[in-house]
Amino acid sequence: MNKKDYPVQVIKVKDSDHRPPPETKPNIKSFGELTDEIRKQIFDQIDEALKKFEPQFARWPKVPAVLKVTLKDEALAKSYRPTSLFTRRTCPIIGTLGYGEVLVGGDREHIQLLQGF
């Protein structure tokens, strides 16, 4: 008896195969209140980074700089990384340096967007 193998199989799609994904709430963890003092410290650090890279940005405006971000001890788990802050729109996370340190990249314009958060 000769058996034929058919590489393509046709499967009919039913209406029940298309349904919206279940609604889930985002798992957001807070690591303390964002006070005016903490916000000022973050803004000052961003300003310091912009000043440090200003000569490079003047020469190569679209070449991103690499910044090291040190995470709080409570935020060391990968699931608690600040991925909502460091996005493609601002400065994406491009790697890690050591335990509790992430590397983000961004040009002058994108680093300045961090100050809007």
Model pLDDT for residues 65-95, shown as the tens digit of each residue: 999 988 888 777 777 777 778 888 888 889 8
pLDDT band at 117 (very low <50, low <70, confident <90, very high): low
**Which residue, among 68, 72, 65, has the nearest Cα to 110 in the 3D structure?**
65
> How much is the mean pLDDT over the chain?
82
Q: Is the pLDDT of residue 21 over 80?
A: no
**Which residue, among 107, 90, 93, has the nearest Cα to 54 in the 3D structure?**
107
Q: Whole-model pTM?
A: 0.63
**Which residue, among 1, 109, 115, 8, has the nearest Cα to 63 in the 3D structure?**
109
Q: What is the pLDDT of residue 57?
A: 92
Higher pLDDT, 57 or 19: 57
Q: Would you state the structure tokens that stand for residue 102, as one six-digit string?
A: 């992430």
> Where are the extended beta strands (E) located within the chain?
65-70, 93-98, 101-106
Q: Which amino acid is at 64?
A: P
Higher pLDDT, 21 or 102: 102
